[in-house]
Structure 1
Amino acid sequence: MIPDDIEWRASDGLVPYPEALAEMEARAAEVRSAAARELVWLLQHPPLFTAGTSADPAELFNPAGFPVFDAGRGGRYTYHGPGQRVGYLVLDLEKRGRDIRRFVHALEGWMIAALGQVGVEARRECGRIGIWTGQGPSEAKIGAIGVRVKRWVTLHGFSINVAPDLSHFGGIVPCGIAEYGVTSLAALGADASIERLDAALKAEFPRFLSDLSGT
């Protein structure tokens, strides 16, 4: 069940990154002024790289010449492209606890729970950003997190690799972590699709809100 004060949107097709960024910024201002509902927006982008506020140019190789955008979020370089589910969250932390650390922890838990619903055991790893799966040589990152909080309203969010072209991640050092690879639901042989992942995210969303509020 999605609360009435939150819009849940899943976009078809590929949404250009500048369009998504502009909409997020506008919606965040409207949420802050109580002129619009909060938003959870699930979408896919064309192939591109985004640079966070800690991005190191030495970690961008980009042999395919994909567009690179300054995201304004925290973190380093991230890839987005077809077959990857991106979730943008425009939520009002003023009424949800004003705790950024708890927000990130709840977001991680939401991703882990949704992945569990589609048959993938995932986890946090101390000292590493993102969501991880596998052990030993097969250990790899399956989900990324990059957020910004502006006047207690969140922007950006997460991505989960369903069936992207994993070779595209070779154009960067993903999130600045070179020691481990990147994987996807498809690469792990999981019986999952964008639609099934969306259903899992929706089913686990009430728990995320509960964790966010500390209830």
Structure 2
Amino acid sequence: MTAPPSTCPLDWIVSEGRTPYAEALSAMEAHVAAIRAEGARERVWLVEHDPTYTAGTSAKADDLRDARFPVFNAGRGGQWTYHGPGQRTGYVMLDLQNAHGSVPARDIRAYVHGLEEWMIRALDRFNVRAERREGRVGLWVANRAGGEDKIAAIGVRVTRWVSWHGVALNVDPDLDHFSGIVPCGISEFGVTSLHGQGVLATMEEADAALKAAWGEVFG
């Protein structure tokens, strides 16, 4: 039997300035518990962090090349990720016991696929073609040398069927900051951004694209 779509109202929150990473973890954890226990509203929370390296549950110690920025154990899936100014991080807190648009209930693989599709559609609004690659986490765009660079990262955690963590879209971060880690354990490819693709979008324009693309995937 197909589960009915979620009827829980969704809050979009955009935090001004920079949100401390530890504060974001605590806030997410508290809200996830409230969704599960109290039926709190589902949430997409858009933030920007100070330069930070975060380790997922599969992170390898050797992939931290230069701990020049604060390091946190994120508790999400995946390996090493950088967060910093110029990058839009989207924390997605949904009750996955319910279906959301094209994403069926209780299907984590489909949920991750939905996050990827959300990013793909948002980037398409800037005429940037991002694609999935088998065996490589995140979204990838072609570069001038004939290779590919990563433009968005995805890492999730699900607690009692409520999602948290989410996505990171490179709008205009300092790409040199990624050199302190092996992003997502993949060393043979580079990292890019909207600005690196020649799209001089503002953070507000990126937010608008994310919000517009959301309903096309998650309803």
Taking structure 1 as the reference length, the TM-score comes to 0.93
Whole-angstrom distance in 2 between the partners of 1:6 and 1:34: 15
- Structure 1 runs, 4 residues or longer, greater than 2 Å off: 135-138
1:191-215 per-position Cα deviation (integer Å, ceiling 9, x unaligned): 31111111011111111214xxxxx
Amino acid in structure 2 at the alignment position of 1:106: G
CA contact (8 A) 1:118 1:191 kept: no
Whole-angstrom distance in 2 between the partners of 1:163 and 1:205: 21
CA contact (8 A) 1:52 1:70 kept: yes
- The farther-off stretch of 155-164 and 137-146 is 137-146
Report the 3-state secondary structure (helix = DSSP H, G, I; strand = E; otherwise coil) of the residue aligned with 1:12. Answer: coil
Give the match for residue 49 of structure 2: 45
Whole-angstrom distance in 1 between the partners of 2:107 and 2:77: 16
Give the match for residue 54 of structure 1: 58
How far off is 1:67 after superposition? 0.3
Give the match for residue 138 of structure 2: 130
- The farther-off stretch of 199-208 and 43-52 is 199-208
Give the match for residue 213 of structure 1: none
CA contact (8 A) 1:119 1:191 kept: no
RMSD: 1.3
Percent identity (aligned): 55
Q: Structure 1: which 5+ residue stretches go unaligned?
A: 211-215
Whole-angstrom distance in 2 between the partners of 1:179 and 1:87: 26
Report the 3-state secondary structure (helix = DSSP H, G, I; strand = E; otherwise coil) of the residue aligned with 1:184. Answer: coil
Give the match for residue 74 of structure 1: 77
Amino acid in structure 2 at the alignment position of 1:7: D
Number of aligned residue pairs = 207
Give the match for residue 163 of structure 1: 172
Whole-angstrom distance in 2 between the partners of 1:83 and 1:149: 27
Q: Structure 2: which 5+ residue stretches go unaligned?
A: 1-6, 100-104
Amino acid in structure 1 at the alignment position of 2:49: H
Whole-angstrom distance in 1 between the partners of 2:187 and 2:129: 22
Give the match for residue 201 of structure 2: 192
Taking structure 2 as the reference length, the TM-score comes to 0.91
CA contact (8 A) 2:8 2:42 kept: no
Report the 3-state secondary structure (helix = DSSP H, G, I; strand = E; otherwise coil) of the residue aligned with 2:88. Answer: strand
Whole-angstrom distance in 2 between the partners of 1:95 and 1:138: 39
